[in-house]
Structure 1
Amino acid sequence: MMYRCGWGTKEGQETVLAVEISREGFEWALTHACLSHYEHGLHTDRATWKRQLKRAPSRVQWDPERDLHLRPLAHRSLQLGLTGEAAHLYSDEWTVSIADITPLARSVHAHVRHGDLDAARRLLPRESPFHVSEEALAHLNLQPAH
C-alpha cells in the first residue's frame, strides 16, 4: 500500500506510517462494517443499504492489488474506512504501535525506479492472509469481484 502515497513523495503525503492494530479491533471493525457500495442480492434495496452505510462505524471495499510497476494483480485487498465509534476505538484502544517507515518506502521506490525489483521485494513487509470465519462476515459478501 506504500505506493498509494507515491512512496512518500506525493504532496501532503510525505510521511509513511506503519500502524499495527490488535486483531480484536480489526475483527470488531469488520463485524460492524457495511460495504461501501450497493450489492444486489446482498442488500434488500438501495435505500436500506444507504441507511446501513450511514449508521456503520466502518465500511469496506475491495481494491485491486498492484505489482511494483503498479500493474493490477489477480487479487484484491480489503480497504477499511473508519468513522465515529470505530475511529475513536482505533486511536484509543486498538493501536498497538506506530512506526515511521518513510525511509523504507523511499528506498523501495528507489530500487523500483532503478529496475532492481528483487531488492525492492526484499524490503517489503511480509504479508499473509487474514483468516476469519465466513459466518462472521457474511453481511459483507467478502468475495471480491475481479
Structure 2
Amino acid sequence: MRHMAPQHQIRADYDARTIVVYQAYAPAIADAALRAGRFVAPFSFQRMTWIKPSFTWLMHRSNWARKPGQERVLAVRMTREGWEEALSLAVLTTADPAAVAQAAVHVQWDPERSPRGAALNHYSIQVGVGRHLIRTFTDDWVVSLTDLTPHVRKAASLMQTGHAAKAQRLFPAERLYPLPGALEKRLSSGG
C-alpha cells in the first residue's frame, strides 16, 4: 500500500467504526440539531455542507467559535463507511472545473493550522458533501452530534491567557487515518 505524501495525510479522531468531523454553526442550527439528535431545519439540505476532521483547522476557520454564524462547534461522529464512500465520490477542487461542477463531493487541502492559527507545512482535508448526498450524510452516515462549544470556549480562554499546553489537553486526539490505496491515489492526484 503506497502512502500519501506526509503533507497530505488525513489526521482524525476515529475508532474501528466511526470518525469525528467538525462543523461550526449558528446557534439556531446547532440547538435544533442537538435537540433532535440529528440535522434538522434550519440546517440547509439544499447546499453543500463542509466537514473537517481537523479540530485546529476549524478553530482557525471559526475563530474559536467567535465568527458570526459559527458560534457553535459540533463534533459530528459519522460512520467510516460513509466517510470513505464520500471520499470515493470526491473530486479535488483543483480538478477540471466541469468535473468539479458535476461532483457529488468536493475535496480541498488547506494548510493545517497551529492552535494560534499559524499555517503549518502540511495540509488538512476539507470535504464538501453536495446537496444530492446531504440526506444520506444526515440520515445514514451521522451517528451522533456533540456540542463542543464549552470546550472550545475554555480552550480559547486558556490560549488567550498563555496556557497553551493546558488548552491543548482539551483538544481531541487526532492520529493518521488509514485510507485504502485507491482512495489515497484519488485524493492525492485526482485519479
TM range (shorter): 0.7 to 0.9
Alpha-carbon separation, structure 2, partners of 1:66 and 1:137: 22
The Cα offsets for residues 62-111 of structure 1, whole Å up to 9 and x where unpaired, read as 01111111111121111100112322211110001101111111111001
Q: What displacement does 1:25 show?
A: 0.4
Aligned to 2:88: 31
1:11 and 2:68 are equivalent in the alignment: yes
Q: Per-residue displacement from partner, 1:18-64 (whole Å, max 9, x unpaired)? A: 111100000001000000113xxxxxxxxxx2232122110101011
Are residues 52 and 5 of structure 1, via their aligned partners in 2, closer, same or farther at CA, if it must alter by over 3 Å? same
TM-score (norm 1): 0.84
1:66 is aligned to 113
Superposed counterparts of 1:94-109, under 5 Å: 94-109=141-156
Name the structure where strand makes up a greater proportion of residues: 2
Distance change >3 Å, CA 23–CA 69, structure 1 → 2: same
The offset of 1:142, in angstroms, is 5.5
Amino acid of the residue matched to residue 169 of structure 2?
R
Aligned-partner Cα distance in 2 for 1:123–1:142: 35
Note the residue ranges of structure 2 that are not aligned, 5 or more in a row: 1-57
User: SS at the partner of 2:77?
Assistant: strand
- TM-score, normalised via structure 2 length: 0.65
Question: Residue 53 of structure 1 aligns with which residue?
Answer: 100
Structure ID, larger Rg: 1
Task: Provide the aligned length of Structure 1 versus Structure 2.
Answer: 133
- Give the superposition deviation at 1:137: 3.8
* CA root-mean-square deviation: 1.6
Query: Is 2:67 the counterpart of 1:20?
Result: no
Distance 1:51 1:67, change over 3 A: same
- Displacement of 1:133 in angstroms is 1.9
List alignment gaps of at least 5 residues for structure 1.
39-48
Alignment of 1:79-98 (within 5 A): 79-98=126-145
